[in-house]
Structure 1
């Protein structure tokens, strides 16, 4: 049954995880689609203003004079290399591109230009921007344009761009560049014999672009998340109720099995007492007959109670208690008298040290009897001594009574101590004789203790016996 529960939980968890993954990919793909189609409404105005700002310039205000001062002096040298040594031309061209980038990065004023555009156009959004060069060509006398940089190529001497296929990053704080974030893309060239052609783009996006895209997806995200949450919640509630119901059902079955097992005690006592009564010598002793008759009467009553308890437990989910005020010492004495009779053929010595004065407690005598008998059964069962010895002590404290049961059995290790009150758990020591049982005795003891609101403590060491200490509120 435990394996089936684990399999059910594992299967449900895997299905929920699979559903979550499917939901994630659906939302992610929707986000990617909307992000690729996202179009900033102010981008057109920004692009127009940018084009006006560099109408007679390149890249940014003052960009063309800077480029001219770098490129124009290099024309004769580069032209000679182009015609005589193509390999050296490529190296020189790459070094020229690197120098252009360094100078542009050092002297760019794009940020101040963008602030002026926003102020003049009344744009109050916080913007991210970027300025990139895509292509650079040189033109010599009597020759077509010669490409010295192309964003789709890799160059040994030119550092790779931040983003693939974007180009040379000049300035800005916009990291992810795409076509729909481009505010302006220009190609500047000249028909003069010695000139250069420059392709570049200016990108602009709101800083909260991701938030804006997610806002567009709110009617996709919210239903998906709510559906997933509902599935997880329903699974949790169903699993909790199922486990709780199973626990209650198991508890009921365990109690029935345990109490049914206890039928053997009164039946054995009745059989033994009846056999003794049939003895001629016993019949001659009126006092012995009376004592044996009382034992038969008490055990018959106990048998009747057992039947009633089985019926009650089968009809209820809780351990029902019938509380009465009882003298603990008298109750234990009666239990020991019957138990001694049932185990008279075994070498067991019982020592009972009472507190002297009556120790009045509130308890269900039936369940208490079963509780104590279960502890005594374990003390006898897990004992390899020739002379088994069990000592029961009651000690009156201020507001409580302590019931202490000690034995000289085989004892328990720390692992066993952690599990002795678990249902179906059975200690498997090396004994001269195999032990029988359902592993329900001490589980039932713990249920009785909890139902009464008492506490129980167990101390034990292998080979040194065990001690059970039950603390019971006294009724003074």
Structure 2
């Protein structure tokens, strides 16, 4: 059984982990999809304003004169290299691109341009931006455009930090610009014999882009998380109930074993005693007959008690009370008088602190008597002292009475206290003499308490005895 529970837990944990991984990849892939399709609502306005800001210009206000001042003087030199030495042309082209990047970075004003766009258009959002060059071509006299930079290629002489996936990173704080964050993408060229063609994009994204994407995913994330939590919760509840049922099954098995032994002992004694009585020699000895008949009587009483306890297993599920108003002082005195007589040889010292005034309660006297006797039986059974001391006190608390039963027994730890009122539960302490029982005594006590609508609590520590406190509504 233990191995089956471990296998069940292992299988369930593997399934839950697998479900969590599937949920994670579902959410992650959904996030990637929504992120790739994310469209900032103000992006169109920003793109239009950007196009107007660089009308008849490139990259940013003042960008074209800066580019012209770098590229135009190099036409003749680059044309000669292109026609005579292609390898030197590639090297010179990369150096030219490096110089262009350096000058653009040094003179860029995209940040102030974006602030002006936001102010003019009334855009309140905090934005991230980036400016990237995708492609740069040069046109010589009587030739097509010659490419000197393409974002799909890597150039060893251009700093790797500037070569991003989207192209040459000129400026901005948007570190990973994507196609869906491009506010404007332009290609600027000229039909003149000596000219250059420039392809570039301006990117703009809100600072809280990730939050906005996650908000779009809320109807995916929340059901996924709630489903996973529900599965984990159901697994926990199922496992708890399974372990509880196993525990109850084990206790029932112990009960059956105990009750079988308990029944067999007096039955065997009765059979043996009866067989001896039938012996003719025994019949002639009145003293022997008397002794054997006493054995039969005691064992029959013991059988009667066992039968009553077994019947109580079913009966206590639905206790039917016949309550009468009774003075708790008198009721306990009567119970102690009978109990003391039956336990005269067990060296028990009873102390009863009765209430100074009548303590009238509504109770079923039969069930109350059995309830108190079960508590007293436990106080005697789980006690290793030569002299067993039991103190019963009635304490008046406004409209309630506290019935306190205190003993000097072995006490209980916290774990035992949590389970003592469960059916078939038996405490297994280390005692000088082994204890017998069916695990029904305190279960019956709790059933009686609940049927009366009273309350019961336990205070105990190992080696320091136990105290049962019963709260009873008073009629006076």
Asked whether the two chains share a fold, i.e. TM above 0.5, the reply is yes
**Which range is displaced more, 357-366 or 451-460?**
451-460
Does structure 1 residue 160 correspond to structure 2 residue 161? Answer: yes
d(CA) in 2 for partners of 1:216, 1:91: 44
Alpha-carbon spacing, 1:323–1:309, altered in 2? closer, same or farther (3 Å): farther
Residue-by-residue CA offset, 1:102-150 (whole Å, 9 max, x unaligned): 234246764378569979xxx9999976431124467899999573785
Q: Which residue pairs with 2:106 in the alignment?
A: 103
On the 8 A contact 1:408/1:464 being kept in 2, the answer is yes
Aligned equivalents of 2:74, 2:406: Cα separation in 1:
105
d(CA) in 1 for partners of 2:304, 2:65: 116
The normalised TM-score by structure 1 is: 0.63
Aligned to 1:147: 148
State the Cα deviation string for residues 46-100 of structure 1 (Å, max 9, x = none).
8788667656432234211022335556889999999899999699557524422
When residues 59 and 38 of structure 1 are mapped into structure 2, their CA distance, relative to the original with a 3 A threshold, is: same
Cα distance in 2, alignment partners of residues 394 and 217 from structure 1: 65
1:186 equivalenced with 2:160 (yes/no): no
Structure 2: stretches of 5+ with no match in the other structure:
270-285, 288-300
CA drift at 1:363: 2.0
Cα deviations by residue, 1:296-327 (Å, 9 ceiling, x for unpaired) = xx99999998788555545x5xx554432222
TM-score (structure 2 length as normaliser): 0.63
Distance in 1 (CA, whole Å) between partners of 2:413 and 2:229 is 41
Q: Which residue of 2 aligns with 1:449?
A: 449
> Relative to structure 2, which stretch is displaced further, 430-439 or 79-88?
79-88
- After TM superposition, give the deviation of residue 212 of structure 1 in Å: 9.2
Q: Indicate the larger mover: 439-448 or 328-337.
A: 439-448
Q: How far apart are residue 429 of structure 1 and its match?
A: 3.1
Residue 424 of structure 1 contacts residue 438 of structure 1 at CA under 8 Å; is this kept in 2?
Answer: yes
Structure 1 residues 378 and 308, CA gap change in structure 2 (3 angstroms): closer
In the alignment, is the contact (CA less than 8 A) between 1:410 and 1:462 conserved in 2?
Answer: yes
- Paired residues of 1:51 and 1:184 also in contact (CA < 8 A): no
CA distance in structure 2 between the partners assigned to 1:9 and 1:39 by the alignment? 46
What are the equivalent positions in structure 2 for 1:18-57 lying under 5 Å apart? 22=22, 25-26=25-26, 28-30=28-30, 32-33=32-33, 36=36, 54=54, 56-57=56-57
Using the alignment, how far apart are the partners of 2:119 and 2:461 within structure 1?
86
Q: Distance in 1 between matches of 2:12 and 2:404?
A: 48
Structure 2 contact 360–475 (Cα < 8 Å) conserved: yes
Shift of the 103–67 alpha-carbon distance from structure 1 to 2, 3 Å rule, reads farther
SS in 2 for 1:160: helix
Cα distance between partner residues in 2 of 1:374 and 1:472: 18
Which 10-residue stretch deviates more, 373-382 or 404-413? 404-413
**Once the 2 structures are TM-superposed, how far is the Cα of residue 165 of structure 1 from its aligned partner?**
0.9
- Please name the residue that 1:332 is paired with: 332
Instruction: State the 1:389 CA deviation.
Output: 2.8
How far residue 432 of structure 1 moved from its aligned partner, in angstroms, is 0.9
* 1:408-456 Cα distance to aligned partner (Å, 9 max, x none): 3233456655654455554443311122334443344344334434344
SS in 1 for 2:346: coil
Whether the 8 Å CA contact 1:368–1:448 is kept in 2: the answer is: yes
Aligned length: 432
Contact 1:424–1:440 (Cα < 8 Å) also in 2: yes
**Unpaired stretches in structure 1, ≥5 consecutive residues:** 272-279, 282-297
What is the root-mean-square deviation of aligned Cα atoms in Å?
A: 6.0
Shift of 1:382: 1.4
Map of 1:393-472 to 2, 5 A cutoff? 393-396=393-396, 398-413=398-413, 416-417=416-417, 420-421=420-421, 426-472=426-472
Whether contact under 8 Å (2:393, 2:405) holds in the other structure is: yes
Deviation at 1:376, TM superposition (A): 1.2
Deviation of the 1:390 alpha carbon: 2.3
**Is the CA contact (8 Å cut-off) linking 1:458 and 1:469 kept in structure 2?**
yes
> Where do 1:127-146 residues align within 5 Å?
130-136=130-136
1:153-204: per-residue Cα shift (whole Å, max 9, x none)?
266773625x9411233455766533355442425477656x6553322346
Distance change (3 Å), C-alpha of 1:308 and 1:442: closer
Query: Any conservation in 2 of the 1:401–1:472 contact (CA below 8 Å)?
Result: yes
Q: In 2, Cα distance between the equivalents of 1:405 and 1:333? A: 14
* Cα displacement (A) at 1:458: 3.7
Change (3 A) 1:43 1:235: closer
